[in-house]
Amino acid sequence: MQLETATIDIGTSRPLVLLHAADADELGAHPLDRVRIEWAEGTTTGIVKRTDELVEHGTVGLTEPLHHVRGPVAVTLAGSPSSVGAIRKKLDDAELERTELERIVQDIHENRLSDVELSAYVSAVYANGLSLEETTHLTTAMSEIGQQLTWETPVVADKHSIGGVAGNCVTPIMVAIVAAAGVTMPKTSSRAVTSPAGTADVMEVFCDVEHSIDEIESIVAETNACLVWGGGVDLSPVDDEIIRAENPLSIDPEGQLVASVLSKKRSAGSTHVVIDVPYGEGAKVESLAAARGLADDFKRVADHLGIDVCCAITHGADPIGRGVGPVLEARDVLAVLEGLEEAPESLRLKSIRLSELLLDHCGVDADVLDLLESGRALERFREIVAAQGGTPDVSYADLEPAAESTAVRADRSGIVTRVDNRALCDLARRAGAPLDGRAGLVVHPSAGDEIDVGDPLCTIHAQTTAKLEEAASLADRLEPIRVRSKTDALVERR
Amino acid sequence: MQLETATIDIGTSRPLVLLHAADADELGAHPLDRVRIEWAEGTTTGIVKRTDELVEHGTVGLTEPLHHVRGPVAVTLAGSPSSVGAIRKKLDDAELERTELERIVQDIHENRLSDVELSAYVSAVYANGLSLEETTHLTTAMSEIGQQLTWETPVVADKHSIGGVAGNCVTPIMVAIVAAAGVTMPKTSSRAVTSPAGTADVMEVFCDVEHSIDEIESIVAETNACLVWGGGVDLSPVDDEIIRAENPLSIDPEGQLVASVLSKKRSAGSTHVVIDVPYGEGAKVESLAAARGLADDFKRVADHLGIDVCCAITHGADPIGRGVGPVLEARDVLAVLEGLEEAPESLRLKSIRLSELLLDHCGVDADVLDLLESGRALERFREIVAAQGGTPDVSYADLEPAAESTAVRADRSGIVTRVDNRALCDLARRAGAPLDGRAGLVVHPSAGDEIDVGDPLCTIHAQTTAKLEEAASLADRLEPIRVRSKTDALVERR
């Protein structure tokens, strides 16, 4: 069928092809069918949507991934991409071959799968799992797409946390310590997807985080390290597409998680990696046994890829550090590096311990406590910030959270029994983080602390009173920090 | 966030909410997140898409399911529908409770699930199966949505074929025979979705098939039967949404299939049902053992629902009848009813045998062969056609296939080893069926027949020479009817 083209702007990564209902009928094309589009310069495929108004009879509407196609075009029905057969095979709980996993990764990368197909892939991997061999093939296939970084030093240190813990901004501190110890650590991090702040959002408080590969190479040459946004360098980009289907289902299948993390590390050229696996109530991994199993999987797959991985199983039931939100976490980072009294002990301890692990893993003998307390880590951090275009002498005192604030206070005295990561993250997002860099919250007590009625449990910061009130009312409903009376079994009488 | 509204026409059953990227960021809404929309007359939810051009900053674009919403509206982030938790539970291979299945069905019915979520449901049911109890709950929940038909007679006959066989248009013949035997058989059928002709498409060759419930009641009162399109009476409509996700994956999970078929029968008020389960190479069910298992499941679930089901396991590896496409299948139906020499024996035999089974199952003693050969079935068929607004004296000779035609001929002599249902269906669709009612094909030999070089294997009919050529070239590639030489092992030398 010969059609004219029109460009349609809908925010979708999928190559949607809007056909007038009459043209779709004529073609025999149903919604979600694929069509082949031939135009003067080539051939591509897209996924059919029907419409009565958005395009006219005789015109085909093309969304962004197809905006380079200009009419007239010949449109014919096309079959499903071959990886749909492999997805069905995984739904049937059969072992996938290397080539099948490569085809799935390629089709995801080229946006050839519809949402229905992508979700079936994620669901199949979640329901039926991936063997060690499948995970290794998947990791390799994912890492071979996108950019590849290479470094001249034989040891390239890296770290990753599987996430789910509020605050937990150990990365900038670790990078500063490890680089100060003379080890190369070119760190790429993500921005927040469903959390109130990714490491890249925190670093953006200090300096630019979007750098080209050339710029990253010169930053690393100068300081032994960098702290940049990974999205700017396109490492293992297939991961982002897969996450798009995992998020609405709140699933994160283990084999996929291992492949996603290690493919990024492989593309980044990392040789020695510490993976932080926080476990506990409400964390991604609930039990110590599950954390150990995941750690073993990481090590086994990494072995096959020639990456030296060491896993740190850590406490994940409550936050690390006090701040939640870009500026508030950046303050915690500086407090630790500057050795201030305000430094949250949980963040300081975890940063020291993981740095020791990583340096030991790299075969480097260094006194981490001395690097931190001597101010050499702070100095290195400031050099990195300067190399990334920030103000080098930034200090704790310069960072101001959003002006509107309110404290959530204990309505009874007793022991703090629960500091809920997920509820605190929801609260910080409601207050405006990460879009408002200065919005978020500060957590006051830790689990086990004694509390008097009226003591502040957390302080919420927001740019506007409207946002502040929204967050405060959410806090009432979520009760993110729970206190149990030592003397009364009754919580309240109604 | 306060926004103005604009209506957007994209062909989607999902309530999509197009947000300008700046508004989406401000709200913290990611693609596929849900938002709650409050307007003067109520509250509803929609699924977020981001756009830079289709709507302006400050305006929200609403697709068809939300076209009743008029601005200004308040838009806030909303959580996932509760059935997403139940879908995750099924992915975890846990047994779902009645209320969880009801919630899934309700959310599908109200278009609250995104494609990712709907696909995860279908994938989970396919990967982990449904227990007998789950299938029964699902069937009940599905049948309680949409219209319910009720009949005054105690015995209401019905039939269903699980499909996958080309031609196979036994339904109009069976309805004519059963109604002529004095049994009520108000039959609703589907139009083609991925096949070249549904029973409704075939009946439309003779008369109207879209009738209101009142009209159906009067047609049945007059003739004991009807042969109408089920989509016009909205029986168990959730099925159609589920099929939308099953089709692109080419999966049809057994528990879901049983629930889909029986929920429609329950809504239609049927009491005695014959289910045709064709099995064989390339059919939906490949082995006799699998066909028996499926038949047992149908009977067990039907028992719980108080429907009397009897299953006919039939041959499904090759076509039943000769015509494929609406008019060509209608011709076969008339040839059988009129007792012509042109009547395909496979269609005649299957119609007789299934009618005998159904009447026996209803406890009615009738001579099916006599009903057919005496012309009483034909007479009843013409009465039904007349009651549905068609020409009552239509006959085989009046039905003309599309004028452009070409024969696909055997390029060697030997035995027909395979007549491939799926390839023939693809071919008939390529020729233009079902949209061109007179397009399609006629199959000449059956598997096992002896063939000489140059004998016609099938004849393709199309409205235009372009369509005809397209179909003929597809026939070359698919080789839908395979012939094996009795005297030479070599197929060809290249």
CB of A194 within 8 Å of any CB in chain B?
yes
What is the residue type of A211?
A: H
Are residues A408 and A441 both part of a single domain? yes
Output the pLDDT for position B437. Answer: 94
Res. A202 pLDDT band, cuts 50 70 90: very high
**Count of CB atoms within 10 A of residue A153's CB?**
13
Q: What interface predicted TM-score (ipTM) does this complex get?
A: 0.83
Stretch among A43-57, A164-178, A329-343, B458-472 having the lowest mean pLDDT: A43-57
Contact A170, A337 (CB under 8 A): no
CATH number at residue A54: 2.40.40.20
User: Six-digit token pair at A20?
Assistant: 């007038």
Number of domains observed in the structure of chain B: 4
Residues from chain B that touch A126, judged by Cβ atoms under 8 A, are 91
User: Six-digit token pair at B463?
Assistant: 């409205």
Asked whether the predicted pLDDT for residue A310 surpasses 80, the reply is yes
Residues from chain B that touch A466, judged by Cβ atoms under 8 A, are none
Stretch among A203-212, A221-230, B29-38 having the lowest mean pLDDT: B29-38
The residue among B63, B78, B93 that closes a domain is: B78
CB of A126 within 8 Å of any CB in chain B?
yes
CA end-to-end distance (rounded Å), chain A: 70
Read off the pLDDT of each residue in A118-143 and give the average, rounded to a whole number. 96
Domain residues for A464?
A: 404-484
CATH number at residue B477: 3.90.1170.30
Read off the pLDDT of each residue in A268-275 and give the average, rounded to a whole number. 97
> In terms of Cα–Cα distance, which of B69, B107, B56, B115 is closest to B85?
B107
Are residues A111 and A196 both part of a single domain? no
Asked whether the predicted pLDDT for residue A11 surpasses 70, the reply is no
The residue among B396, B415, B435 that closes a domain is: B396
Nearest Cβ partner for A123 among B11, B31, B123:
B123
Residues from chain B that touch A84, judged by Cβ atoms under 8 A, are 248-250
Do residue A25 and residue B49 have CB atoms under 8 angstroms apart?
no
Asked whether the predicted pLDDT for residue A222 surpasses 90, the reply is yes
Are residues B389 and B455 both part of a single domain? no
Interface test with A, best of B116, B256, B286, B477 (most A CBs within 10 A): B116
Does B372 fall in a domain? yes
Are residues A449 and A421 both part of a single domain? yes
Residues from chain A that touch B245, judged by Cβ atoms under 8 A, are 116
Output the pLDDT for position B11. Answer: 62
Are residues B438 and B387 both part of a single domain? no
**Beta strands at A272-279 and A404-409: parallel, antiparallel or unpaired:** unpaired
Contact A434, A325 (CB under 8 A): yes
Read off the pLDDT of each residue in A419-445 and give the average, rounded to a whole number. 93
Do residue A250 and residue B84 have CB atoms under 8 angstroms apart?
yes
Extract the residue ranges of chain B whose pLDDT is less than 70.
Answer: 11-13, 492
Output the pLDDT for position A401. Answer: 96
What is the residue type of A368?
A: V
Are residues A422 and A470 both part of a single domain? yes
Read off the pLDDT of each residue in A74-94 and give the average, rounded to a whole number. 90
Are residues B286 and B347 both part of a single domain? yes
**Beta strands at A272-279 and B34-39: parallel, antiparallel or unpaired:** unpaired
Read off the pLDDT of each residue in A335-352 and give the average, rounded to a whole number. 96
CB of B194 within 8 Å of any CB in chain A?
yes
Cross-strand pairs, A228: A188
Give the burial class of B397: count Cβ atoms within 10 A of its Cβ; 0-12 exposed, 13-18 middle, 19 or more buried: exposed
- Closest-CA distance of chain A to residue B57, Å: 14
CATH number at residue B287: 3.40.1030.10
Interface of B with A in 48-77 (CB under 8 A): 49-54
Does A144 fall in a domain? no
CB of B22 within 8 Å of any CB in chain A?
no
Do residue A251 and residue B91 have CB atoms under 8 angstroms apart?
yes
What letter would DSSP give residue B198?
A: -
Does B222 fall in a domain? yes
- Closest-CA distance of chain A to residue B121, Å: 9
Residues from chain B that touch A193, judged by Cβ atoms under 8 A, are 30
Do residue B10 and residue A32 have CB atoms under 8 angstroms apart?
no
Look-up: residue for tokens 């032994």?
Answer: A224
Residues from chain A that touch B9, judged by Cβ atoms under 8 A, are 51-54
Q: Which residues contact A488 (CB under 8 A, 6 or more apart)?
A: A412
Does B152 fall in a domain? no
User: Six-digit token pair at A353?
Assistant: 């311990």
Does A493 fall in a domain? no
Are residues A278 and A340 both part of a single domain? yes
Contact B159, B270 (CB under 8 A): no
Residues from chain A that touch B92, judged by Cβ atoms under 8 A, are 127
Output the pLDDT for position A135. Answer: 97
Interface of B with A in 206-265 (CB under 8 A): 244-245, 247-251
Do residue A32 and residue B244 have CB atoms under 8 angstroms apart?
yes
CB of B191 within 8 Å of any CB in chain A?
no
- Closest-CA distance of chain B to residue A249, Å: 7
Do residue B123 and residue A128 have CB atoms under 8 angstroms apart?
no
Output the pLDDT for position B248. Answer: 85
The residue among A16, A51, A78 that closes a domain is: A78
Asked whether the predicted pLDDT for residue A104 surpasses 90, the reply is yes
User: Six-digit token pair at B7?
Assistant: 């209506």
Are residues B197 and B51 both part of a single domain? no
- pLDDT 10s digits, A389-428: 999 898 999 999 999 999 999 998 999 989 999 999 999 9
E strand or H helix at A48? strand A42-51
Are residues B88 and B209 both part of a single domain? no
Do residue A249 and residue B88 have CB atoms under 8 angstroms apart?
yes
User: Six-digit token pair at B280?
Assistant: 């064989």
Active site residues of B: 252
CB of B427 within 8 Å of any CB in chain A?
no
Output the pLDDT for position A71. Answer: 75
Do residue B30 and residue A247 have CB atoms under 8 angstroms apart?
yes
Interface test with A, best of B36, B112, B249 (most A CBs within 10 A): B249
- pLDDT 10s digits, A446-488: 988 999 999 999 999 999 998 999 899 999 998 999 998 877 7
- Closest-CA distance of chain A to residue B20, Å: 9
Does A134 fall in a domain? no
Q: How many CA atoms lie less than 13 Å away from A460 in the CB half-sphere?
A: 31
Interface test with A, best of B123, B244, B473 (most A CBs within 10 A): B123
Looking at chain B, which residue has its C-alpha nearest residue A93?
A: B127
Do residue A25 and residue B435 have CB atoms under 8 angstroms apart?
yes
What is the C-alpha separation between B174 and B368, in angstroms, rounded? 10
Are residues A98 and A202 both part of a single domain? no
Are residues A72 and A90 both part of a single domain? no
Output the pLDDT for position A28. Answer: 76
Portion of chain A with pLDDT greater than 70, in percent: 99
- Closest-CA distance of chain B to residue A325, Å: 14
> In terms of Cα–Cα distance, which of B445, B429, B16, B418 is closest to A76?
B429
Does A379 fall in a domain? yes
- Closest-CA distance of chain A to residue B113, Å: 10
A100-to-A90, A91, A94, A140, A362 alpha-carbon distances in Å: 10, 13, 12, 13, 35
Does B137 fall in a domain? no
What is the C-alpha separation between B393 and A394, in angstroms, rounded? 93
Looking at chain A, which residue has its C-alpha nearest residue B8?
A: A54
Say how far residue A409 (Cα) sits from the centre of its chain: 31
